Amino acid sequence: MNRLVTMAAASVLVVAGGCATTRQFLALRRVSFDIDTVNRVNLAGVPIERIRSYGDLSALEIARLAAAATRGEIPLQFDLLIGGENPQDNNTTARLVRMSWTLLLNGTETISGTLDSSYTFPPGGRTVVRLPIRLDVARFFRNNARDAFDLACGIANLGGCRPAEVQLRALPTVDTPLGPITYNEPITIIRRTTGS
């Protein structure tokens, strides 16, 4: 009898845990992600955000970009800020614990990585996820110094720059009472035009 009661209780806990797991998984599935903004853009040691056009670069900055292009190494760094909104009627806080990702710039697949920080998305709220990006532009694009600057300027969303398309192909993992669960397939987080 005690064994039957124990088994029944265990079954109830598993079902309850399964329901909670389903709720939390579905809660994250309902979170709508977008690229909020890009900041702290730096190209080969040149901070881009204070510059509005290639003509605003100093002679030293142009020389630095040209030297990087000649070496075939044009390091680009920026912070990608991803916004996630959980609908008010969701009634469940979504908890992101990991996210594998691949960055695409102008349709070209570049670097991949994993975000291991934890973020919560309460119902009716917006949470911003910070993703630091570091890549060598020369590995993926045949850029001269001017082209590399135009790409960085478009990513930074500065006026007078060529539009740049930024996408993040992401595979989120959500925390549940029964352990982490990863999406079956990636989602695409996009802001199609980040330039003017």
Cβ partners under 8 Å of residue 8, min gap 6: none
Is residue 182 very low, low, confident or very high in pLDDT (cuts 50, 70, 90)?
A: confident
d(CA 35, CA 90): 22
Distance between CA atoms of 168 and 100, rounded to whole angstroms?
A: 10
**Confidence (pLDDT) at 103:** 97
State the pLDDT at residue 25.
Answer: 54
Position with higher pLDDT, 8 vs 43: 43
- pTM, 2 dp: 0.79
54 secondary structure, DSSP code: G
CATH code for the part of the protein at 2-191: 2.60.40
CB 138 within 8 A of CB 73: yes
Given a cut of 90, whether residue 178 has pLDDT beyond it is: no
